[in-house]
Amino acid sequence: MRRFFVPHVTFTHESEDLPRDVAHHISTVLRLRCEERIVLCDGAGGCVECRIEEISAKKCRVTRLRQWSEQETALPVTLIQGLPHSDRLDIILQKTTELGVQRILPTHCQRSQYPISAAKASRKLERWQKIVAEAARQSERAWLPKVATVSSFAETVRECDAELKLVLWEQAAQPLEAVLPQQPPKDVAVIVGPEGGLTEQEVELALQQGFVAVGLGPRILRTETAGMTLMAILQFQYGDLNRIPREQIVLE
């Protein structure tokens, strides 16, 4: 069944009207019809299966059939992404959402070539949240990752309190395997630089804040490839890429 994110989804009555933007997507883009079933998600694990009762270009009325909660099985990973070109960030948001990222923190780095002004920050954030929501919907996640507004590199690394903190650096003296613990960490934070990578000063600052510098082999990966590669490795090692399908707790 197709999924749609509706924040704070609640059914105080048996039938409810969906928000207009969701109704438009269901009727005009997907061309769903009456009697078809969909799933509404609140972004925090809550899911409601519904049947479409009435539909038009501006209205979609559904009836609740059952409700359940889905556990988040992905390893909690925070991606601290050095701000790349906007098109590349769109890809990073989309693909890391599919891979189970929990938070994405776009960060100004010394080599970021496309700084974002404060005036554009709110518009950018709205766009990024839509990209994440669409990627989560497509990949059938019940949990929405959080996307933060752009912050400085120093501020971001100082505020990071993850149990395992990694910074990808092409000059790192040790591979990823050497620093991964046997037992799954409570959460992980990963720093990926922008085009051109991180400066030595930025890496030193990260090390002072408890990050460990690691490499991903002999090849230099693009900024959008590096984060996705590490995310996939972590989710396979500790998360849910090698698990059975999602668990449900039915709340009839």
Strands (E), the chain: 2-5, 15-17, 37-41, 46-55, 60-70, 77-82, 103-108, 146-147, 151-152, 164-168, 188-192, 212-214, 248-250
Of the residues 42, 70, 98, the one at which a domain ends: 70
What integer pLDDT is reported at residue 113 of this predicted model?
A: 84
Quote the pLDDT of residue 123: 82
Q: 100 and 66, same structural domain?
A: no
Within this chain, do residues 137 and 64 fall inside the same structural domain, yes or no? no
Q: What's the half-sphere exposure (Cβ side, CA atoms, 13 Å) at 91?
A: 11
Residue 164 bridge partners (DSSP): 188
Lowest average pLDDT, out of 6-20, 51-65, 84-98, goes to 6-20
* Cα dist from 198 to 36, 49, 160, whole Å: 50, 46, 17
3-state secondary structure of 93: helix
Query: 192 by DSSP, 3-state: which?
Result: strand
User: Which CATH number covers residue 54?
Assistant: 2.40.240.20
pLDDT digits (tens, 9 = 90+) for 25-55: 898 888 999 999 999 999 999 899 999 999 9
Task: Give 223: exposed, middle or buried? Use CB within 10 Å, 0-12, 13-18, 19+.
Answer: buried
Q: Which of 7-16, 28-37, 51-60, 189-198 has the lowest mean pLDDT?
A: 7-16
Tell me: do 66 and 96 sit in the same domain.
no
The answer on 6 and 30 residing in a single domain is: yes
Point out the domain boundary residue: 70, 97, 127: 70
Range of the domain at 58: 2-70
Q: Are 65 and 82 within one domain? A: no
Does residue 242 lie within any of the structural domains?
no
Q: Are residues 83 and 65 in the same domain?
A: no
More reliable by pLDDT, 118 or 136:
136
> Which among 44, 53, 47 is positioned nearest to 14, based on CA atoms?
53
Confidence of residue 166 (pLDDT cuts 50, 70, 90): very high
Residue 246 lies in a domain: no
pLDDT tens readout for residues 67-119: 898 888 999 999 999 999 878 999 999 999 999 999 999 999 999 987 776 66
Q: What's the CATH code of the domain at 189?
A: 3.40.1280.10
Residue 224 and residue 108 share a domain: yes
Average pLDDT over residues 53-66: 90
Query: Which of 43, 70, 97 delimits the end of a domain?
Result: 70
Encoded tokens for 212? 């460990």
Q: Which of 167, 33, 65 is nearest to 109 (CA)?
A: 167
Buried/exposed 113-142: b ≥16 CB within 10 Å, e otherwise:
eeebeeeeeeebbebbeebbbebbbeeebb
Question: Residues 65, 84: one domain?
Answer: no
* Mean pLDDT, rounded, of the chain: 90
Range 225-230 average pLDDT: 95
Are 200 and 95 found together in one domain? yes
- Does 220 share its domain with 150? yes
d(CA 133, CA 1): 17
User: In this structure, is residue 244 part of a structural domain?
Assistant: no
Same domain, yes or no: 219 and 151: yes
Full-model pTM: 0.88
- Based on the structure, what is the number of domains in the chain? 2
Residue 96 in any domain: the answer is yes
Which pLDDT band holds residue 212 (cuts at 50, 70, 90)?
Answer: very high
Asked if residue 227 belongs to a domain, the reply is yes
